[in-house]
Structure 1
Amino acid sequence: MVDSDGSRSAPTIRFEGGVKPLVAFFVGSAVYFTLVVLLVDSLIGDGSIPLWGQFVYYVVGFGPVALFAWVALRREGLAPSNVGLSWRNVGPGVLAVAGVWVLANVLGFVLATATGDSVSVGFPPGVALATWLVLLVSQLAIVGIVEEFAFRGYFQNKLVSLFDGGANWKRKVAAIVVATVLFVLLHVPQRLVITGLSLADLPPALVGLFVYALLFAVIYELTRNVVFAGVLHGTFNVQTVLVFREGGVAVSEVGSIAVLLALVAVWLYRRWAKVTRPDDFSAQTGPSVVAADGGL
């Protein structure tokens, strides 16, 4: 953005829609997720979902939420590319995530063999290849991308703008925490109905989900790349471990290594992107609910 005097000011991403698009998006997503969960439970019950049904579930369950976010963004005067969902982000995002998991599996293989274990490399044993591939594609191309686009690209950025946190790190942190809490609450019906958690088991499960979601909220904020955050999100959902000890037990160290490598990848990506594409890190601005004195 260039000021009238010709000097270059800090780039901004301005949300113009006020509170209404945000509320409409959240309520619509909450109602839709709940209806999908109840519908799946009534149709499937305790039975297993066939392979084609699993893919349909992910498309039908998550596709409309991406549409809700797109409509909300348009109401704000913005496009998906403004929040990090663009073709130019595909290459760097996918390559960064692929590098994390390739190196994690290689290091896991080395560590396991160094201890004298018998290790094999391949797809998860005991799982049909087609089933694993459908799950992998669904998580990477649908679930991860949709959730990061809708709830980080739009919802989180919008809350940061409402909290006037674009240039104030304390308000930004508060907005990210609130966005993450609301994201976690959307999962309550799924955890109770589909996963079958009891009310007693729900709180610790939600705490774990909060930590997991907060990690990706920070990853998105540091990279502003929906593809990077979304594909990484999908890989951790499905755990792309390809090295196994005797008996088909996954080498657990791979997951821990992947977390550390992912943090390194985020740091390296941010260093690169801040220089090559600084406008990706535009400060979130717009009509705010925070008063000039910092109060609400």
Structure 2
Amino acid sequence: MRHEVMFYTKGPEEQVNCKVCPRLCNIAPGKRGFCRVRENVGGTLYAVNYAECSSYALDPIEKKPLYHFYPGQLILSLGTVGCNLRCGFCQNWQIAQGTPQTTRLEPEQAVELALQQRERGYPCVGLAYTYSEPFMWYEYVYDTARLAHDAGLKNVLVTNGYVNEQPLQTLLPYIDAMNIDVKAFTDDFYRSTCAGRLEPVLRTVETVYGQCHMEITTLLVTGLNDSPEEIKRLVDWLAGIDPNIPLHFSRYFPNYKLDLPPTSEETMKMAKNLARQQLRYVYLGNVPQLAAADTTCPGCGSILINRQGYQTQIGELGGGVCLECGKKIPVIM
């Protein structure tokens, strides 16, 4: 079922200009935008994926990954189809770039499903819009997030951050946390590997900061964005915003169109050590053998949250402070 989109303008001869993301696609009648899910029908732009859910699951919130937002809790995660980037290493390319079967899930049904998890005794804090790019599901996310907000549920976006400022600001009042993918710190990488640009993503991070909880993820791809120089530029920029922002370095494995070797453990350790010179909370993903997922106190080094896979145990943390030294810790519980 089609649903008219919120941010677009109409032009001559039934042309439309989509305004949700920096691509600003000009779309002719009968055609779709780059994301594949916004279609011009007779001069009106519709979201063809509204309420079309490609997958949903009750996930550990650490899987998003969010390590400083209700640790140890669960969140109902929903995804659709379509994306406004074309990352050669995409781990969810079957739904982001493919045409999987979908299930109709209206906003009211999604909220009710999350509430049912609570009634069954699961520690479900709310809804996460993830798996595919949630800003390409904009109208559905907007409608669902408002209902979830009114029902006392939390809303989480797991996003590439490739969005224009007006849609972002319109949605933010209903969003409690975001994990934003900063895929690299060079425009060349974004253009050649993701068919996008870096600057809009940096702007999104800077806009979101202070308006909701935020964590950052960077997938380190062998030989493409994993040099010490590039990592240092990323860290310098992030530390300049706030050294308390959690940064997740994720290990790349071959997927979709890239068959480069997996990121080495040495590179992952180098990235963490370099980032910890300026950032207080740095984590490694996809390398369980390195045991680099614990949250430790930057004051005394005590283990505040112990993580083994997605098993989470609260340690020397209570009331937002380290129980050993009294340092305030930016974790929402």
Instruction: Classify the TM-score, shorter chain.
Output: under 0.3
- TM-score (ref. length: structure 2): 0.22
